[in-house]
Amino acid sequence: MDAFWIILTGSLVAISCGTLGCYLVLRKMAMVGDAISHAVLPGIVLAFLFSGSRDPFTMLLGAGAVGLLSTFLIETIHRRGQLQEDASIGVVFTFLFAVGVILISMYAGQVDLDQDCVLYGEIAYVPLDLLYTKSGASLGPRTVWILGGVLLAVIALVSFAYKELAATTFDSQFAAAIGISTTLWHYALMGAVSLTTVASFESVGAVLVVAFLVIPPATAFLLTDKLPVMLGLSAVVGILSAAGGYALAVAIDGSIAGAMAVVGGAEFALALLFSPRYGIPARIKRKTHEELPSVS
Amino acid sequence: MIIHVENPALEIHNLTVSYHRKPVLWDIDLTVPQGTLAGIIGPNGAGKSTLIKSVMGLLPADSGYAQMFGEPLDRVRRRVSYVPQRESVDWDFPASALDVALMGRYARLGLFRRPRAADREMAMDCLKKVGMDGFAARQISQLSGGQQQRVFLARALAQDADLYLMDEPFAGIDAATEAAVIQLLTEMKQAGKTVIVVHHDLQSAADYFDWIVLLNMRLVASGPTDQIFTQELLERAYGGRLNVLSQVGELLQKQQFPARERKG
């Protein structure tokens, strides 16, 4: 049963992160997920210090707010300060993460958080923290309920706002010209990334969150040229990483989150080698059939 | 020479735009009549693209304003179509030619509304008009530059607008596509649409357009092509360089200098 809950948790994170990650990758903002997942640390600590509890909703609120603040800072420094976007991402997230580290070390006695847990997560503990009904029946791990809610929110966003997200991602100038607010959808997407990152954080750690934000979408991108298929494939790749990673971790008795990320990386490598358009078989085929339908 | 008309498709009033606090357009004041095929002409860095981006509200104006059909853009957005430069988007985006053309229909759909079968048919018709119906399912990065430009035009047609603002639709496309595009734009004009095109090639400008806006950070001239396309006004827009260039060209033709020095 534990295995089931752990794989389910990993899969929920993988699908939420992978879905949002597709848009980040296509917007060339893949590292924004990295930035947010680190930058939210001071938000978590501050939320804990002010509320004095580890209530997940307070944490989500604090971290979500700092997540949005960090995307706002990245945009502002990039636009107003005329600094390159990648440099601006690097400045903002290392600064905020460092502030979080200082806060943790200052209030070490009061804060039940440590850097290791934040970075690597403790997915193995997911089955230990269960929710119960009043009569005492188990409802399953608390994390699964939270992550399930997050996944529903993510799916609602990308299905209701499919055309808005697609248009602003592909051609933001055109989208703006037909009256779709690029700013609104930028922050809606970033808000969703913040929320997902923070909710996933505690259970799977920052490293796996970043891996799931980039690897499944990047793998799916190599395998298809249709956006809806890319979203679906990204989910499949994510679930396979979660299940395969758990099996690998059991086999080698290693870190579960680490193994899930490694399996994701291996899937990406396979896609890179055998992608229908960019892979090795396609290249060999192209060499033998030089007379591809000429495009003029 | 700046000729104003009554009841214009596009009116720009005292527009000044800066980029990083450096003004790139000074006090532009012009009108473009309805039902024309107009060209915005000027040297590199003259602010041609900036002008239409600012008109579309994509760049903030320091002062002045633009109106379409006598109304601010927000009230007539559905009647106005904007075609950005082809290089401004990443063509590796996972979409087919039909998907991109269909985006033209998004302008008419409300928030969260999905395109219907009728929208798909319309998008397909527009691909046909630009000769791309055979490539509807093809991924857009697998298209040539000229074909990508045609897909952009199909998307604009799918908006079914009355005023089209196009940024360099002839940049980097082959001669056959250029001829097909200009034919399409002429047909649109004949159907009563107004088409305003940013164009960099002086040679073809006089043939293509019936209204010309000459720009070089300031407005040099705006009016019917036969009145604007004079040596004097072109020289003012191109700042003497045109004169030097044309003289060199004549000299080359007369004396048949080799274009490149021979290695001795």
Please state whether beta strands A138-141 and B10-19 pair in parallel, antiparallel, or not at all (unpaired): unpaired
Provide the pLDDT confidence category of residue B247 given band limits of 50, 70 and 90: low
Q: Shortest Cα distance from B1 to chain A (angstroms)?
A: 31
User: Please, which pLDDT band fits residue B174 given cuts at 50, 70 and 90?
Assistant: confident
Q: Does A166 touch chain B (CB under 8 A)?
A: yes
Beta-carbon separation of A229 and B95 below 8 A: no
Which residues from B are below 8 Å from A233, CB to CB? none
Say if the Cβ atoms of B94 and A160 lie within 8 Å: no
Q: Give dist(CA B128, CA A225) in Å, integer.
A: 22
Choose the closest CB to B174 out of A163, A177, A296. Answer: A296
| CB pair distance less than 8 Å for A173 and B58 | yes
Indicate if the pLDDT at residue B248 is higher than 80.
no
For chain A, positions 191-230, list CB contacts with chain B under 8 A. Answer: 221, 224-227, 229-230
In chain B, residues with a C-beta closer than 8 Å to the C-beta of A169 are 93
B181 Cβ contact partners less than 8 Å away, ≥ 6 residues apart: B130, B149, B150, B153, B169, B170, B173
A140-143: long-range contacts (C-beta < 8 A, 24 or more apart)? A140/A5, A141/A5, A141/A9, A142/A56, A143/A9, A143/A202, A143/A203
DSSP symbol at A225: S
Answer whether B73's CB lies under 8 Å from B43's CB: no
* CB within 8 Å: B115 and A163: yes
Nearest Cβ partner of B93 from A26, A174, A229? A26
Q: Are A107 and A49 in contact (CB under 8 A)?
A: yes
Nearest CA distance, B215 vs chain A (angstrom):
23
State whether B142 and A176 contact (CB < 8 Å). no
Contacts of B100 in chain A (CB under 8 A): 170
CB A238 within 8 A of CB A261: no
ipTM: 0.87
CA distances (Å), origin A210, targets A165, A216, A269: 21, 11, 17
Q: Is B114 within 8 Å of A162 when comparing Cβ atoms?
A: yes
Instruction: Count chain A–chain B contacts defined by CB atoms under 8 A.
Output: 86
Cα nearest neighbour of A185 on chain B? B111
Write down the pLDDT at residue A8. 92
Cβ contacts (< 8 Å) between A179 and chain B: which residues? 74, 77, 107
Q: Tell me which chain B residues have a C-beta less than 8 angstroms from the C-beta of A161.
A: 112
Residue predicted with more confidence, A283 or B169: B169
Torsion of the alpha carbons at B225, B12, B111 and A213, rounded to the nearest 10 = 90
Return the percentage of chain B with pLDDT > 90, whole number: 63
Nearest alpha-carbon partner for B46 in B236, B247, B254: B236
CB A225 within 8 A of CB A45: no
**Mind listing the pLDDT tens digit for each residue in A97-121?**
899 888 888 876 665 665 555 566 6
Which chain A residues have a beta carbon less than 8 Å from that of B94? Answer: 26, 221, 224-227, 229-230
Strand partners, B215: B219
pLDDT, residue B10, reads 94
CB contact under 8 A, A170 and B95: yes
Contact B95 A160 (CB under 8 A): no
Q: Encode pLDDT of B47-88 as tens digits.
A: 899 999 999 999 999 999 999 999 999 999 999 999 999 999
* Whether A50 contacts chain B with CB within 8 A: no
Q: Are strands B37-41 and A130-132 parallel, antiparallel or unpaired?
A: unpaired
> Is residue B176 exposed (0-12), middle (13-18) or buried (19+ Cβ within 10 Å)?
exposed
* Chain B positions in Cβ-Cβ contact with residue A225 (cut-off 8 Å): 94-96, 139, 141
Q: Smallest Cβ distance to A225: which of B82, B111, B139?
A: B139
Q: Which of A158, A159, A170, A174 to mutate to test the interface with B (most CBs of B within 10 A)?
A: A174
pLDDT of residue B152: 94
- In whole angstroms, give the CA distance from residue A10 to residue A256: 10
Tell me which amino acid residue B2 is: I
Kind of pairing between the strands at B163-167 and B80-83: parallel
Q: Collect all residues from B whose CB is shorter than 8 A from any CB in A.
A: 20, 53, 56-58, 74, 77, 80-84, 88-90, 93-96, 99-100, 103, 106-107, 109, 111-115, 139, 141-144, 146-147, 155, 159, 174
Q: Class of the A2-278 domain?
A: mainly alpha
Lowest mean pLDDT among A64-78, A169-183, B129-143: A64-78
Global pTM value: 0.87
pLDDT band at B244 (very low <50, low <70, confident <90, very high): low
**pLDDT of A46-88, one tens digit each?**
887 887 766 767 777 888 888 888 888 988 898 888 788 888 9
Q: What is the pLDDT of residue B192?
A: 93
**pLDDT above 50 for A154:** yes
Distance from CA of B77 to the nearest CA of A (A): 6
* Per-residue confidence (pLDDT) for residue B52, from 0 to 100: 94
SS in 3 state form for chain B? CECCCCCCCEEEEEEEEEECCEEEEEEEEEEECCCCEEEEECCCCCCHHHHHHHHCCCCCCCEEEEEECCECHHHHHHHEEEECCHHHCCCCCCCEHHHHHHHHHHCCCCCCCCCCHHHHHHHHHHHHHCCCHHHCCCEHHHCCHHHHHHHHHHHHHHCCCCEEEEECCCCCCCHHHHHHHHHHHHHHHHCCCEEEEEECCHHHHHHHCCEEEEEECEEEEEEEHHHHCCHHHHHHHHCCHHHHHHHHHHHHHHHCCCCCCCCC
Q: How many CB atoms lie within 10 A of CB A99?
A: 17
Q: What is the pLDDT of residue A105?
A: 82
pLDDT in tens, A121-140: 667 667 767 777 677 777 77
Select the more confidently predicted residue: A91 or B252. A91
Average pLDDT in the B123-135 region?
93
pLDDT classification of B257: cutoffs 50, 70, 90: very low
Domain boundaries, chain A: 2-278
Which chain B residues are within 8 Å of A174, Cβ to Cβ?
82-84, 103, 155
* Other Cβ atoms within 10 Å of A80 Cβ, number: 8
pLDDT (tens digit, 9 = 90+) per residue, B177-204? 899 899 999 999 999 999 999 998 888 8
In terms of CA atoms, which chain A residue is nearest residue B105?
Answer: A178
Cα–Cα distances in angstroms (integers) from residue B94 to residues A228, A231, B88, B175, B229, in the given order: 9, 11, 16, 28, 44
**With an 8 Å Cβ cutoff, is A117 touching chain B?**
no
* pLDDT of the residue at B258: 46
Token couple for A7: 């794989």
Question: Residue B20: which of A82, A162, A177 has the nearest Cβ?
Answer: A82
Higher pLDDT among residues A25 and A53, named by residue:
A25
Residue-level pLDDT at B124 = 95
